[in-house]
Chains A and B, each alone.
Chain A
């Protein structure tokens, strides 16, 4: 085996820097959970607009989905970090700056809200009208019907697809190193600059991401299947 190949697969250097790198990974998780929260809330709001009876609401919801689903996350991160503050600054006549973390969360949160909106919408529209009629016939308020009858079923239905979207979002968190969010990839490039030995570090990073996604997504899928089976027996 060539020396370069041995070096590329040698985890020793990765292990040596494990604390820095783990801190980076924790930052990925931090960005992920924050962006996922934004994506779920904004996505649900957009989905509710899209199923609204009044067409102007539907139109706004559709616009939201189309814009963010078709925006590359790479460009969105850069745009939110460098362009959006300028625009906002002009608007309020004051210097505006976003921390790299805030930019990353806003950009990824909004991009993925486009996907989640579609998943929510499909889920909401798949609930039989009769379930809602049954609630109304009991005198339930529309908000009770949404929270107690529609959303709990939507969540179960959308879980398999949502897990895939969460996986994509977690992968997408690796690009936040572009704007100096100190995530795993960022740490890897910092260490690389010191050590001048990029290969083992990148291998280590790749293996780490793979292992985390494989284990977490796998367990979530397993748990959600068991939960879903109870009602779709």
Chain B
């Protein structure tokens, strides 16, 4: 096992005004592993993911991507040097994110959505970007939809395009924020199948989800977040089979009944 985790979160805290949303969260995500994050609505799961790629600025604590601190290096005299946005943007390339609401760009075709960041951020040549995008669309089983506009796709298809768009940046890790929560039940499987395939391919992933079956059999570790803290953590067998925390047990029994 390698020493440097793909993502290391250290004592992360986030306040919105007086509201303490994250209250000291620490965990590691090793290369090629899948971490599922479960917890009640409002427990801070989205905020945690958004702090990892700095869509929110943490109030305290640090996130390391491949050992590099997102918040900026600490100088010899112990002060942190804040990174400029251009630096943060460079680090964000390594973290693909998939949102609950898909957030496809509606004025671009499917292929346009997927090549946009490789073209504008990685500065790839158009031909290479299109070849890459076709590869990514194949991975989410949407090769034939390249020329469609998002408005003409089903929710499940839109979410798979969003996954392809994130993959096209060839990130070191993928962050999923409840990717199936706004889908009709009959469309969740096509998205979960793609995610299982990514996991099997060795993609490093953090998945916030209410799909207990996925958390149980597709992930290496499960975190249960409660009130901005990790209340329970372990391999899925342990968290689902013998949770130590009473709250986690209650949460799971509600979810699994």
Contacts and interface: CB of A to CB of B under 8 A. Distances in A.
A34 B107 CA distance: 28
A54 interface: no
A128 to B, nearest CB: 7
B90 A134 contact: no
A156 interface: yes
Nearest to A232: B151
B51 interface: no
A231 interface: yes
Contact of B152 (A136, A142, A156, A233): A233
Nearest to B91: A139
Interface stretch (B96-104, B183-191, B200-208, B230-238): B96-104
B77 interface: no
A154 to B, nearest CB: 10
B89 interface: yes
Contacts of A133: 50, 55, 97, 99, 103
B106 interface: yes
A137 B3 CA distance: 26
B96 A137 contact: yes
A139 B92 contact: yes
B88 to A, nearest CB: 8
B89 A153 contact: no
A138 interface: yes
Contact of B95 (A130, A137, A152): A137
A134 B161 CA distance: 12
A171 interface: no
Contacts of A141: 85-86, 89
A231 B106 contact: yes
Nearest to A228: B107
Contacts of A153: 105-107
A140 B86 CA distance: 9
A52 interface: no
A144 B86 CA distance: 12
Interface string B60-89: 000000000000000000000000011001
Given A137-B55, A138-B169, A149-B105, A144 B120 contact: yes
Given A128-B103, A233-B151, A137 B120 contact: no
Interface in A127-170: 128, 130-131, 133-142, 144, 148-149, 152-153, 156
A230 interface: yes
A233 B107 CA distance: 11
B14 interface: no
B103 A131 contact: yes
B178 interface: no
Contacts of B99: 130, 133-134
Given A140-B121, A144-B121, A148-B120, A131 B93 contact: no
A149 B101 CA distance: 16
A140 B96 contact: no
Given A144-B120, A233-B151, A134 B85 contact: no
A225 to B, nearest CB: 15
A231 B89 contact: no
B105 A138 contact: no
CB-based closest 6 A-B pairs: A138-B117, A130-B103, A137-B97, A139-B93, A134-B103, A139-B92
22 contacts: A128-B101, A130-B99, A133-B99, A134-B97, A134-B103, A134-B104, A135-B117, A136-B55, A137-B92, A137-B96, A137-B166, A138-B116, A138-B117, A138-B121, A138-B166, A139-B91, A139-B93, A139-B117, A139-B121, A231-B151, A232-B151, A233-B151
Interface of B: 50, 53, 55, 85-86, 89-93, 95-97, 99, 101, 103-107, 116-117, 120-121, 149-152, 162, 165-166, 169
Interface of A: 128, 130-131, 133-142, 144, 148-149, 152-153, 156, 230-233
